[in-house]
Chains A and B, each alone.
Chain A
């Protein structure tokens, strides 16, 4: 079964520092991968997605992620953290066999220290 694993349930960074949130996928075929952000008491907002093509994907709010097949990874990065980045981040996979099934990793809570 396809799944995603997020390493680190809590990450703290200083304001202005690099943000790195880790996601590894388990699949025998390239999956379709997504990063979502969730602010308290809100729904999920798409940050970026990888389907095919360029492996470096740029998203909203200065985030980007690189699909690395050799490492089965899709880590999320941002060069400089802002206080407003504090939120819960979820990596998600869409199954290719049937489509339209989104399964989420366990999430990473990002804290930004002023």
Chain B
């Protein structure tokens, strides 16, 4: 199994809503990532978890709150988002170490209205 599964695939939420994005992998990877991708742009790194601990936060606003409940799951909690936060949110995982590639999920297309 070399899949990273993200749910939901599409999400529309209001600016006062609270929602969560979910990501799951069963490859035994100990590093997991959240990326944000705007249209026609490259993915931008948001968070990195290493052994279930947050190791990198790329100055992401606090309205995005990541959580790693166990080694297979990664969540991104969303609260009070702005329309400019509409984007494709990608989850990825990899083995620990710089030589290994990241495996990406299909993404969640988020629209904030």
Interface residues of A (CB under 8 A from B): 32, 34, 36, 41-46, 49, 51-52, 90, 94-96, 98-107, 109
Contact = CB atoms under 8 A, between A and B. Distances in A.
Contact of B101 (A49, A101, A103, A105): A49
Contacts, number: 67
A100 B45 contact: no
B102 A102 contact: yes
Interface of B: 4, 31, 33, 40-43, 45, 48, 50, 55-56, 88, 90, 92, 94, 96-107, 109
Contacts of B104: 36, 43-45
Nearest to B58: A101
B43 A104 contact: yes
Contacts of A101: 45, 48, 56
B45 A94 contact: no
A32 B94 CA distance: 14
B107 A100 contact: no
B90 to A, nearest CB: 6
A43 B107 contact: yes
